[in-house]
Structures are given as structure tokens and as C-alpha cells.
Amino acid sequence: MVTILTATGNGSGVVYDEDGLIVTNEHVVRNATTVEVAFADGQRVPGTVLATDVVTDLALVEADRTGLPAAEFQRELPQIGELAIVIGSPLGFQNTVTAGIISGLHREIPGSANQSQALVDLIQTDAAISPGNSGGAVVDADGDVVGISEAYIPPQAGAVSLGFAIPSATVIDVVEQLREDGRAEHAFVGVEPARVTPEIADQLGLPDTEGVIVRSVIPGGPADEAGIAPGDVITAVDEEATTGPEDLLAALRNRDPGETVILSVRGVDGRERDVEVTLTERPPVSR
């Protein structure tokens, strides 16, 4: 467990290998090329930001130190009710530990699609996560990392103990791609999704607010090639209901470029149809 210090603030990180590779959140090191890495033994060393992935909000930092004890990352999802221990540097308090349980799996933060593509398919915990915990470890009773702290819903929003972490399986997949190629691949459908509000449903004469309305289509993209048009409503991906944009993003998170999916679509004429779409690789995303 380490603290990541930048010119604009601090976050947390986890030792990925003994040669100084640290995994953290992209938003912790955003706009930085160099950082300072503080260890539990009090030593501080320079760090270089090697690669970032905006889609999953993960980043790799190389610390100028070797012989480190690497964390064990659990590839399997934890069980609901299992012990969850959050380790990080909330508000700059280094090596802080909070505890709770795993509250849920495959969570999406409602409304997050308008802010970030990373806030989907997350682990939920009631262990306290605060500013500065970002990029730190969520570990189980055996000390294995089951997730990387990502976000929390603050009490001002009426929330109590709602924290979220990126599952370790996602972390391993993205980190291995970043360390090998400097970038990670993600499936791309080529639409700008939006929530169907009551106002939109009334304006378009839709029977309900279920589904994801296609605000725009990327010319020449997979959806465009498959005949999907602005105003269409995507109601399911491979028969899994999409009640909002977050569901659509979460469904794509588990697909690879080149895979074919079946989108259930309600057209602007009100007709229902199934559309076969072959996903491509997402174009580079930057902040």
C-alpha cells in the first residue's frame, strides 16, 4: 500500500510487482507525468506515470524502488457479505484502514454515464471510502486484493456507507495490457447513449422510460453500419435489459472488440427489432 502525491493532491496505490510497478486510479495522476510515491516505512521516492486508461480509470506508476512486497490480486469476485477492508490515505491520513462487508456486485452509479465510463460493473462496500482512498486496495480476510477503491456517494446526497471499487479481475486485465502495450482495448458500439426521461418519453410518444435512447450515432461505426439511428431506444443487450446508459456501458465492459451482440431496439416508428452489431475497438479516449 502506497500514497501517491501529485502537484494537485494525493491518492493511494497498490504495489503490483516487486520492481516498483504501482496501480492506481487514472484520476489520481491525471495531467501528471511524474509523482512522488510514499511507502509505509516512511521512504518517499520519485515515480513516473507509465500508462493510463480513462475507460476503467486505472493507471500505472513506476516507483524508483525495487524489492517491494507485491500484493496478491484475487481473480474471482468476492461473495456478498464477505469481509472488506479498505486501505488508503483518506484526506492525507496515510495507511488508514476501514472495514465493512461486500454489499453488492456488478453495481453502476446512477447517472454516472454523463460523467465517466468507469463507474459501472463495480463492487459495492459499506467500508468507509473517502477522498484520498482512490486507487487504494480493498482486501478480503486473507489479505488478497479484491478491488481498487474508485468512488463513494457522499452523505450530502443522502447516502450512508456507499463505496465502490473496481474488481480485481478488471484491474489485472487492464494492467497487463497497459504494461505490455501502453494502452487497453475496449469494445465500442458507436452510439452516444442517454437516459429516457419522462419528458423525452412524452415528446417521442414512448410507452415508458425503459431503455437507452440513442442521442447520436458515430458515422461509420458499428451501430451506424447495423442501421441504428438517433432516436432509437436500446432496450436490451443479448436479452439483458438496459434500463439506463450505465447498463449499456456495463454490458459492453464484458465484451471484446470483434464480438457480435444482439441489441433489442425500439425504432422511432415504435416497432421492435433485434439488431446484430459487431463491436470494434474503442478509439482512444483522452481527458
Cell output for 7 = 502537484
State residue 14's pLDDT score.
97
The yes-or-no verdict on residue 209 having pLDDT over 90 is no
State residue 114's pLDDT score.
66
- pTM confidence score: 0.87
Instruction: Give the mean model confidence (pLDDT) for residues 238-243.
Output: 91
3-state secondary structure of 68: coil
Q: Provide, rounded to the nearest whole percent, the portion of the chain with pLDDT above 90.
A: 71
State residue 206's pLDDT score.
80
Q: How confident is the model at residue 287 (pLDDT cuts 50, 70, 90)?
A: low
Instruction: Give the mean model confidence (pLDDT) for residues 178-185.
Output: 92
pLDDT in tens, 115-143: 677 888 999 999 999 999 999 999 999 99
Supply φ then ψ for residue 26, to 5 degrees.
-60, -40
State residue 243's pLDDT score.
86
Please name the residue that has the C-alpha cell 458515422.
219
State residue 159's pLDDT score.
75
Q: Check: CB of residue 46 under 8 Å from CB of residue 64.
A: yes
State residue 161's pLDDT score.
82
Q: Please state, as a whole number, how many other Cβ atoms lie within 10 Å of the Cβ of residue 142.
A: 9
Q: Check: CB of residue 204 under 8 Å from CB of residue 230.
A: no
Q: Where are the alpha helices (DSSP H) in 90-206?
A: 168-181, 198-204
Cell output for 15 = 504495489
Q: Provide, rounded to the nearest whole percent, the portion of the chain with pLDDT above 70.
A: 98
The domains of the chain, with CATH numbers, are 1-184 (2.40.10.120), 187-281 (2.30.42.10)
Supply φ then ψ for residue 113, to 5 degrees.
-60, -25
The yes-or-no verdict on residue 197 having pLDDT over 90 is no
Q: Check: CB of residue 148 under 8 Å from CB of residue 14.
A: yes
Q: Please state, as a whole number, how many other Cβ atoms lie within 10 Å of the Cβ of residue 40.
A: 12
Q: How confident is the model at residue 286 (pLDDT cuts 50, 70, 90)?
A: low
Q: Please state, as a whole number, how many other Cβ atoms lie within 10 Å of the Cβ of residue 176.
A: 12
Lowest mean pLDDT among 19-33, 114-128, 259-273: 114-128
Q: How confident is the model at residue 187 (pLDDT cuts 50, 70, 90)?
A: very high
Lowest mean pLDDT among 2-16, 177-191, 192-206, 254-268: 192-206
State residue 135's pLDDT score.
96
Instruction: Give the mean model confidence (pLDDT) for residues 156-169.
Output: 87
Give kind and range of the element (H or E) at residue 27: helix 26-29
* Residues with a known catalytic role: 27, 57, 134
